[in-house]
Amino acid sequence: MNAFELQHICRAIPGDEGPQSLLNDVTVCFEKGLLHALVGPSGGGKTSLLRLLNRLDAPDAGTVSYAGRDLGCWEPRRLRRTVAFVPQQPHIFPGTARDNLLFGLRFHPDIVPTDQQRLSELCALSQFPPDLLSKPAEKLSIGQQQRLVLARALCLEPEVLLLDEPGSALDRPTAEALGRSLRHLCRRSVTIILVSHDLEWVRNHADQVLFMEAGELKLQCPAAAFFNRGVEDRIGRFIAGQKEALHHDG
Ligand SMILES: Nc1ncnc2c1ncn2[C@@H]1O[C@H](COP(=O)(O)OP(=O)(O)O)[C@@H](O)[C@H]1O
Ligand SMILES: [Mg+2]
């Protein structure tokens, strides 16, 4: 079953030399309960695509539907609870980490108040250290803030998680633990669509890989098939180049 269906999406923004195309005729489906990874060179349109999926931005042309309904038919608050976006730059509110984690509940009185057990579960799922819950959120590192924002999103029990570079500020063991948590959520039918430049991580955790370049979706395929490609084309060279960069990093 498809969670999202996108048909012929185009989006452009005004530029100095006329409109700059961010997304060019993107048609794609995201299957429910899978972990989809958007990869490709910087500026290729990955973040732009993610932002359309909970209507942070709107396309100039084409349609986006979730659960068989055009996004325009969804009440915005309902949509953003169902489809949660965790940006690369975490947005933190004044107060403790716990205040931040529970922030969304005030807008959704139907959700059962979070008890200690649920709080522990949310910390475990997001890899957020529970002993930091009483700390002022703005004192946390970027990586800790990212995981806190993920916990805040999970608190509202979304059906879809949109994650922009969730592992970018994490060390390898923490990023791997987060990958295992995300797989656990997929087994509970959560659909995950994320951006990553870490192909090793993508190989370990993604079901589907989507390669984007210059605003176009060039390839969507199962992760195993993606990583078994030869180096003869542009995408193969991109994969090989990332491995090379990894070796140079040590
Ligand atoms: N709000 C914006 N204003 C100006 N340029 C933007 C904006 N959003 C995206 N871009 C540009 O659009 C292109 C695609 O960006 P993005 O979707 O962020 O790519 P990616 O996430 O793949 O690196 C880039 O050239 C970026 O600089
Ligand atoms: Mg981006």
How many angstroms does the Cα of residue 42 sit away from the middle of ligand 2? Answer: 7
Determine the average pLDDT of the residues in 234-246: 80
Q: Give the lowest-confidence range in 148-152, 206-210, 227-231.
A: 227-231
What is the CATH T-level fold of the domain 2-249, as seen in this structure?
A: Rossmann fold (3.40.50)
Q: Which residues line ligand 1 (CB under 6 A)?
A: 13, 22, 42-48
Asked if 196 contacts 179 with a C-beta cutoff of 8 angstroms, the reply is no
Nearest CA residue ID for atom 2, ligand 1? 13
In this prediction, residue 250 carries a pLDDT of 46
Asked if 218 contacts 241 with a C-beta cutoff of 8 angstroms, the reply is no
Asked if 47 contacts 164 with a C-beta cutoff of 8 angstroms, the reply is yes
Per-residue pLDDT tens digits for 8-55: 999 999 999 999 999 999 999 999 999 999 999 999 999 999 999 999
Ligand 1 atom closest to 38 (CA): 22
Question: For the chain, what percent of residues have pLDDT higher than 90?
Answer: 83
Determine the average pLDDT of the residues in 67-82: 94
How many angstroms does the Cα of residue 45 sit away from the middle of ligand 2? Answer: 7
Per-residue pLDDT tens digits for 161-183: 999 999 888 999 999 999 999 99
Ligand 1 atom closest to 48 (CA): 17
The domain spans of the chain are 2-249
The mean pLDDT value of the chain amounts to: 93
Q: Calculate the alpha carbon distances from 49 to 52, 70, 192 in Å.
A: 5, 16, 14
